[in-house]
Structure 1
Amino acid sequence: MLVRVRSKDGNFRFDLQPSADISELVSKILETAPNADPSTLTMSNQPRGGEQNVSNIRGRTLQSLGLKHGDLIFVSYKEKSSSTPSTAEPSTSTAQPPATTTVAQGSRIWETVQEDPVDTYWRSKDGMIPRGRDATFCKHGAKGMCDYCMPLEPYDAAYHKAEAIKHLSYHAYLRKRTPKGNPTSASMALPPLNPLDYRVKVPCPSGGHLPWPAGICTGCQPSAITLQSQPFRMVDHLEIASMDIVDRFLQAWRKTGLQRFGWLIGRYEPYDKVPMGVKAVVEAIHEPPQQGELDGLTLGLPWEDEPRILDLAKSASPPLTIVGYIFTDLDPTPEDRTKNVYKRHANSFYLSSLEAIFAATLQRQHPTLSRSSPTGKFESRLVTAVLTATEDGQVDVAAYQVSEQACAMVEADMIEASVDPGIVRVKEEDRTQGSARYVPDVFFTYKNEYGLEVKKSAKPCFPVEYLLVNVTHGFPQSPSPSFRSTKFSIENRHGIEEQQVEQVMQTLRDLGALNMQPGSSNDLHKRVELAKWLSDWHLVAFLGTTQLFSAEDMKILVQVTSSPRLLEEPQSLDALFATEGWQTFMTIVRESAPSRPPQPTVTSGNDDIPQDVLDQIAAEEAASHPSGSGSSGLRICPHCTFENEHSGRDCEVCGLPL
C-alpha cells in the first residue's frame, strides 16, 4: 500500500506492505532526513496536535495502527547536534539501524500503570444507563428493545439534565472521549486524554531559534486560554464514614477557637448516584503538625510524616490512602456564640483565591494514575473539604476540587491570590533568565444583562469560580466505619490532648489484655471490648511511633484492627497477639504495673492485741449490734471482730469460740 509522509524536508511516498513493521516506515523517513534525531521522531494524523513518539508504537504493524492505502502522516523531529555521530556510520558491523534501535528501547508508559481498584472496576463495566419499557411508545414484546427503552450511554446529555447532574464522572467522560470503532485502529490504541500544559516548550520542536526566554514562536508557545466550567470531575461524592470522625476533629476548635487542618484518610469506591461515578470514603482524619490561629493556620509542607502514614494506610483492610484534606473556617457571631458567621455563599466566595491555588498545588502533588493518558497520570482525586457555617449559623461540610485548567495555570506560574478572596490575579510576563514566565492571552465568558454570552479578557483578574468544581458530600445512613473508636487522643494537639504510652498501658490493664492468650475463647466479651478500643486510627498511628512494633507487626496491627469482621470474629486478634511486638509490649505493661498496697492477713489469733482489749471491743460491738432472741441475729467474734450472720459456737472466719 502507498503511505504519504509530510515533514519539514518535503512530501514523500513510500510503498509498504500492510503487514510491515512501523520500524520499516521509520527507516525510510530517516533516509529522507539525514540530520533528524531518531529519538525525537513523532507522527500524527493531523498537521498539529496528537503527536506520538515512534517509541510508543514500537512493534506494531501498519495495518494494526489503522493505516490504509493513501493515508497522509505528518512527521516532526529535532535535528541532531554536531556532536551526534552519523547514523550512516555504525560503531560496529552488527549495529542495527538507529530507528529500529530507538523503537526497541521505547516503552508505552500508560500500559504499565497500576490503576486504583475503582478504575479497574469501571473499566470492566459498560456503564450503560438502563431504561424500562415505555408503556406509551414501546410496541414490542417484553423481551424486545427499541429507541425508547434501549440503554443510554453514561455521558448522555439529556439524562444528566433530567437528573440535575452537573458534571460527567471521570469514566463517563473517558468513555465519551474514546473513539468508537475498530479496537485495533491507531486511534483506539493511543490514550485519549492529554494533560493540559500551559508552559513554553523548551527546547522548541521546530529547532529554529534559541530556547525561551531568548526566543519564542508559534511552535513552542502555548495557545490562548479560555476559562470554562470543567465538564467532568474526578470525584463525584465525598462520604464521611461516621459523624464521630468530624465531631472529634471539631473538638480542638471548640476548646481553643483556633482553626484546624487534617488529611482525609480513606479509599475510592463506585458511586451509584452518577453514571460510572466515584466517591471518596473517609475513614479517619490525621492531623499534621500545625499552628492554628483565629483566622487561619500555618502548615508545614512537605509533610514529613506522609510516607509513614501512607504505608500504614495501605496495610488496612481494605487498603486506604490520602483522598483529600479538610480545614475549618469558623467564626462565632458576637450576638450568639453558639452560631457562626455565614461567610461562604454565592454573593461572597466558596473557596478563596489563596485556597484554590493551594488546592491546585496539592492536586498536582497527588495525580491519578491512568492508562488513558500518555504520561500515565491524569488530573487528581484529592478533595478539598471545608467545615464552615451554614445560613442558619450551624456547621456543615462543603467539598470542592479545582479544575485541570487551574492546576495547569499554577504549574505555569501564571496566577496568584489577591486581597479580594473571590478574585484571582493573572501575573505579568517575565523574561528574566532563570525565572522566565510566559503568560498567553486568557479569556473568560459570561452572560450579560441581556442574556448574551460575552468573552472578556481575564487580565489582570477574574472570578475564582471559574477554577472550581463542586463535589457533593454526605454521611451513610447505616455507618460502618473501618475504625470503630475515636476515643484515643489525637496527634499534634499540644496543650489540648497528649498521646502517652502510660495511657495506653493503663487501658490495656483495665481491659484485661494481660490475661488474653492466642487460641483462648473464654474471654470472648473482653476480646470484643479490647477490639473496639484497638480499632482507632489515632491509636494505631501512635503505636507506630513507639518503636515497639516492627514494620511487619504494624501491618498486622492495622490490618486486624480495620477488618470489617473484627467484632463478629474477635478471635482474629490472635494474629496480633502472636506478633513479637505485641508480646514485648505486654511484657512492658506487666512489669510497669503499679504495686498494690499490702492486704491485712486474717489469722486464727490476735497475738499482738491484749485479750482484755479484744474483750472490750467485742463488748462494745455487741452493745451496738445486739443479737435478737432467735438464732438468726448477728454475733461479733471477740477474737477477729467478724460479724457472724448465723448463731454458732465457732467463728466462721477464725474458727475460735464466740
Structure 2
Amino acid sequence: MLIRIRSKDGTFRFDLAPTSGVEQLAEKILETTEGADPESLTISNTPRGGETAISTLRGRTVQDLGLRHGDLLFVSYKSSVGSAPLASVEPISPSSTSAPAPVSAPDAKRPWETVKEDPVDTYWRSSNGKIPRQRDPRLCKHGANGMCEYCSPLEPFDQSYHAEHSIKHLSYHAYLRKLSPSQSSNSNALPPLTPLSYRVKVPCPKGSHPPWPAGICSTCQPSAITLQPQPFRMVDHLEFASDAIIDRFLHAWRATGAQRFGWLIGHYEPYDEVPMGIKAVVEAIHEPPQEGELDGLTLGLPWEDEARIVKLASEASKPLTIVGQIFTDLTPLDEDKSKSLYKRHPKSFYLSSLEAIFAARVQLEHRCPSRSSPTGEFSSRVVTAVLCGTEDGGIDLSVYQVSEQACAMVEADMIEASVEPGIVRVKEEDRTADSARYIPDVFFRYKNEYGLDVQKSAKPAFPVEYLLVNVTHGFPKVPAPLFRSSLFPIENRPGLEDQGLQLIFNELSQRGVTEGDGEVAASSQTGLANWLSDWHLIAYLGTVGLLSEDDMKLLIKTASSPSLESPSALNEIVKTDGWRNLVAIARESSAPRRPTVPPPAVADNTSDFEIPPEVYDDVENPIADPSVRVCPHCTFENVHGGSDCEVCGLPLG
C-alpha cells in the first residue's frame, strides 16, 4: 500500500505492507529528514492539531492505525543535529516475528483509549448504523431475498436521505462514520477528530523565538478563521419526560413575572428519527440560587451546589447528569396580559450574543468524553433551551447548541457581546504580558442581493447565527418519567415556594406513617411511594442531615425505579436508620400539645414565700379543657366545636 507523508522537508511516498510496523514507517520518515530528533517525531491526519507521538505507537501495524492506500499523514519533529536514532524507534530485522510487539506503558495511557464514554456512544459504536430500505417493486428485478443498489442499506451520512427527510445536520456518530468508515470496528485507529483551538501555541514547536507575546511565527499562530455552519450536532433532539416539568418551571414566571433559570437533569438515549441520532431526555429541572427580574436575571456562578446535585443524580436507577440549561424570556403584552411578546424571530434574533457566549462557556465546562479525539474529549452535549413568546402570543420552546468554532473563540477570548443582541463583536488584539490576546483574521460568507456567494471580514462584528446549531424538541407519546411527582416546593424560590421539614412531617402524618413503629401500610404504600418520587423532595432531603449518604443513594435509586409501584418497593427504605429518625421526628412534631397558661403573678409582699414544687407543676401543666380540640396536623387549638381545623382545614380526629 502507498502511504504519503508531508513535513517541512516536503512530500514523500512510501510503499509499505499493511502488516508493516510503525517502526518501519518511522525509519522511512527519518530518512527524509536532516537531524530529526526521533523522540519528537509526531504524526497526524490533519495539517494542524491531533499530533500523536510516534514513539507511543510501538507494536502497532500500519493497518492497525486505520491507514489505507493513498492516505496522507502530516509529520512534525524537532531538529537535533548529530543525534543518533534512539531506542524508541527500533528497526525490525528480517528474522523477527511478524507478531506485534507488546504494548508499552505510554501506549496504555493514551487518553482516547482509557476514556469512559456515555452508554449511548457505546450503543452506536456497536451498531452498523446503516439506513434500511425496502424492496422497490418498480426498480428491483430480483427475488424477495435478493438485494441491489435500489434497496441496499444506505450509509448513515447519505446526503440524499438527509435532504429528502429535511435533516439539516448529521448526527455525531454519522459524522464519525463519514470521516473514517473503517474505524467503526478498528479500536486501534488514530482518532479522526481534532478539537479546535484558536490560541497561540506556547511554547512554539520550532522553538526559534521567544514565546508569545514576545514573539510569534506562522507555526505557533492560529490560522485564519472562516465561519461556516457546523455540519454535525452532538445532540439531535431534546425530550422532556413529562409536560409537568415545564409547567412547574413556568409557575414561577406566571406568579411573579420574573424570569427564571434552571439546569436540565436527564440522560441520553438513541434517537431513531435521525440516522445514529442521540436525544437528551430531561427528567427534572433544578433551579440554582438566582435573582429574577422582569427583563433578565442574575445567577451566582460558579454554582456551589453543582457537585452534590451531579453526584445525587448519578445514583438514580438510570444515571442522570446535567444535559442542558433552560431560561425564560417572556414579556406580557400591554393590551393582553395573557399573551407574550414575540421578540425572537428571523428579523430579530434567536439567541443573543451574550446568551451564545454563556452557552459556549457552559459547553466548555461540560465536555463530552470521546474515543474519537486524541485528548479523550470532544465538543459537548449540553443544550440551551429558551421559553419565549410566539407570533400568536403563546409560549414555545427553542433549543440550540453553539458550534465548536464558537467554543474555540470563547476559549481564546476572541469575542464579546454587543449592545445589538444579534451581533457578536470580535475583540481587539492585545499583546500586553498580563492579558495577551492574538486575533487571527476572521471571515464569514453570505449571499448578497444578486445571489452571489461573498466573503466578508468578521471584524469588528458578525451575526450570531453563524455560531448556532438548531436542536429539535418534543414530548413522548407515552410519558414514563423516572420521577412520578412534582408537587414538592421547588428549591430557591423564597417567598413563592418555601421548602421545610414541617411539610414533610405533615405529609407523613396524613399518610399514617407516624403511627405505630413507622411501617407503611400496604394500602397507603403506593401513594407514599409516588409522593417520594419527587426530584425536588429528594434533593432537599439531602440537605437536612437526617439521612446518611447510603440512605440517600437507596432513596433516589428506589424513587426513580420502574418497579416503584410494587408492594415491596419501600421495604428497604423503611428499615434504614435515616427513615426511622425522620419518622420519629415527624411523630413528635405532629403530636397534640395541651394548652398551657402562664403561672399566676405573685405579689411583691409574698416574693419570699416558698411555694412547693408540686404546685408549680400543677400550674405549668393544667388539666386539658375537653372543649378544646388540638389539630394533629398544625397543632392549632380549635375551640368552636367544629369537626375540621379552623386553620388548615384538615379533620381533627
Shorter-normalised TM range? 0.7 to 0.9
1:599-648 deviation per Cα after TM superposition (whole angstroms, max 9, x unaligned)? xxxxxxxxxxxxxxxxxxxxxxxxxxxxxxxxxxxxxxxxxxxxxxxxxx
Structure 1 69/288 Cα, relative in aligned 2: closer, same or farther at 3 Å? Answer: closer
The residue that corresponds to 1:156 in the other structure is 158
The residue that corresponds to 2:310 in the other structure is 310
Shift of 1:450: 1.6
Shift of 1:52: 2.1
- Does 2:99 match 1:97? no
| 2:370–2:377 Cα contact (<8 Å) kept | yes
The residue that corresponds to 2:537 in the other structure is 539
Structure 1 341/219 Cα, relative in aligned 2: closer, same or farther at 3 Å? Answer: same
SS at match of 2:569: helix
The residue that corresponds to 1:495 in the other structure is 495
SS at match of 2:379: strand
The residue that corresponds to 2:466 in the other structure is 466
**Cα distance between partner residues in 2 of 1:5 and 1:555:** 54
2:589 aligned to 588, 592, 612, which one? 592
Structure 1 127/68 Cα, relative in aligned 2: closer, same or farther at 3 Å? Answer: closer
**Cα distance between partner residues in 2 of 1:207 and 1:102:** 31
Report the AA paired with residue 300 of structure 2.
G
Structure 1 13/193 Cα, relative in aligned 2: closer, same or farther at 3 Å? Answer: closer
The residue that corresponds to 1:321 in the other structure is 321
**Cα distance between partner residues in 1 of 2:394 and 2:579:** 44
Q: What aligned pairs does 1:379-394 form with structure 2 within 5 A after superposition?
A: 379-394=379-394
Shift of 1:76: 2.3
- Does 2:194 match 1:228? no
Report the AA paired with residue 311 of structure 2.
D
| 2:49–2:194 Cα contact (<8 Å) kept | no
The more displaced of 574-583 and 97-106 is: 97-106
- The share of aligned pairs that are identical, in percent, is 65
TM-score (norm 2): 0.82
Structure 1 578/3 Cα, relative in aligned 2: closer, same or farther at 3 Å? Answer: same
1:588-609 deviation per Cα after TM superposition (whole angstroms, max 9, x unaligned)? 22233322669xxxxxxxxxxx
The more displaced of 424-433 and 49-58 is: 49-58
**Cα distance between partner residues in 1 of 2:508 and 2:430:** 62
Report the AA paired with residue 569 of structure 2.
S
Shift of 1:51: 3.3
SS at match of 2:278: strand
The more displaced of 25-34 and 194-203 is: 25-34
**Cα distance between partner residues in 2 of 1:220 and 1:64:** 31
The residue that corresponds to 1:344 in the other structure is 344
The residue that corresponds to 1:165 in the other structure is 167
Shift of 1:414: 0.8
Shift of 1:134: 1.1
Structure 1 205/337 Cα, relative in aligned 2: closer, same or farther at 3 Å? Answer: same
Report the AA paired with residue 534 of structure 2.
D
Report the AA paired with residue 335 of structure 1.
E
Shift of 1:44: 4.5
Structure 1 595/50 Cα, relative in aligned 2: closer, same or farther at 3 Å? Answer: closer
1:200-240 deviation per Cα after TM superposition (whole angstroms, max 9, x unaligned)? 11111122222211222221111111111111111111111
| 2:515–2:587 Cα contact (<8 Å) kept | no
SS at match of 2:508: helix
Q: What aligned pairs does 1:431-510 form with structure 2 within 5 A after superposition?
A: 431-510=431-510
1:500-559 deviation per Cα after TM superposition (whole angstroms, max 9, x unaligned)? 1111111111111234879x89x3230011011111000000000011111111010000
Shift of 1:64: 4.2
The residue that corresponds to 2:649 in the other structure is none
Shift of 1:32: 9.7
1:413-460 deviation per Cα after TM superposition (whole angstroms, max 9, x unaligned)? 111100000000111111111311111111111111121111111111
**Cα distance between partner residues in 2 of 1:545 and 1:402:** 34
The more displaced of 215-224 and 11-20 is: 11-20
SS at match of 2:590: coil
Structure 1 409/105 Cα, relative in aligned 2: closer, same or farther at 3 Å? Answer: same
The residue that corresponds to 2:635 in the other structure is none
| 1:271–1:278 Cα contact (<8 Å) kept | yes
**Cα distance between partner residues in 2 of 1:181 and 1:380:** 22
Structure 1 119/138 Cα, relative in aligned 2: closer, same or farther at 3 Å? Answer: same
**Cα distance between partner residues in 1 of 2:153 and 2:229:** 28
Shift of 1:73: 6.8
**Cα distance between partner residues in 1 of 2:180 and 2:71:** 22
| 1:183–1:189 Cα contact (<8 Å) kept | no
**Cα distance between partner residues in 1 of 2:71 and 2:400:** 45
The more displaced of 220-229 and 8-17 is: 8-17
The residue that corresponds to 1:298 in the other structure is 298
| 2:20–2:61 Cα contact (<8 Å) kept | yes
| 1:353–1:424 Cα contact (<8 Å) kept | yes
Report the AA paired with residue 593 of structure 1.
S
| 1:109–1:375 Cα contact (<8 Å) kept | yes
Structure 1 17/39 Cα, relative in aligned 2: closer, same or farther at 3 Å? Answer: same
**Cα distance between partner residues in 2 of 1:244 and 1:286:** 14
SS at match of 2:396: strand
1:573 aligned to 567, 570, 574, which one? 570
**Cα distance between partner residues in 2 of 1:46 and 1:399:** 32
Report the AA paired with residue 406 of structure 1.
A
The residue that corresponds to 1:415 in the other structure is 415
Q: What aligned pairs does 1:134-213 form with structure 2 within 5 A after superposition?
A: 134-180=136-182, 189-213=189-213
Shift of 1:368: 0.7
1:18-58 deviation per Cα after TM superposition (whole angstroms, max 9, x unaligned)? 86754576589789989766553312478766632124423
**Cα distance between partner residues in 2 of 1:72 and 1:373:** 18
| 2:50–2:374 Cα contact (<8 Å) kept | no
**Cα distance between partner residues in 2 of 1:192 and 1:316:** 34
The residue that corresponds to 1:367 in the other structure is 367
The two structures, once aligned, show a CA RMSD in angstroms of 3.3
The residue that corresponds to 1:511 in the other structure is 511
**Cα distance between partner residues in 2 of 1:182 and 1:251:** 46
The more displaced of 214-223 and 363-372 is: 214-223
Shift of 1:59: 2.6
Report the AA paired with residue 97 of structure 1.
A
| Structure 1 residue runs without a partner (length 5+) | 90-95, 599-658
The residue that corresponds to 1:643 in the other structure is none
Structure 1 32/305 Cα, relative in aligned 2: closer, same or farther at 3 Å? Answer: same
**Cα distance between partner residues in 2 of 1:434 and 1:312:** 40
**Cα distance between partner residues in 2 of 1:182 and 1:399:** 30
Report the AA paired with residue 551 of structure 1.
E
- Does 2:399 match 1:399? yes
The more displaced of 20-29 and 298-307 is: 20-29
**Cα distance between partner residues in 1 of 2:537 and 2:307:** 18
| 1:55–1:103 Cα contact (<8 Å) kept | no
Report the AA paired with residue 368 of structure 1.
C
**Cα distance between partner residues in 2 of 1:447 and 1:13:** 41
Structure 1 534/365 Cα, relative in aligned 2: closer, same or farther at 3 Å? Answer: same
Shift of 1:485: 0.8
SS at match of 1:368: coil
| Structure 2 residue runs without a partner (length 5+) | 91-101, 596-653
Report the AA paired with residue 279 of structure 2.
K
**Cα distance between partner residues in 2 of 1:592 and 1:323:** 39
1:477-506 deviation per Cα after TM superposition (whole angstroms, max 9, x unaligned)? 222211111110111111111111111111
SS at match of 2:244: helix
The residue that corresponds to 1:263 in the other structure is 263
**Cα distance between partner residues in 2 of 1:414 and 1:239:** 33
**Cα distance between partner residues in 2 of 1:513 and 1:373:** 53
| 2:443–2:457 Cα contact (<8 Å) kept | yes
**Cα distance between partner residues in 2 of 1:394 and 1:51:** 51
Shift of 1:13: 11
Shift of 1:145: 1.1
TM-score (norm 1): 0.82
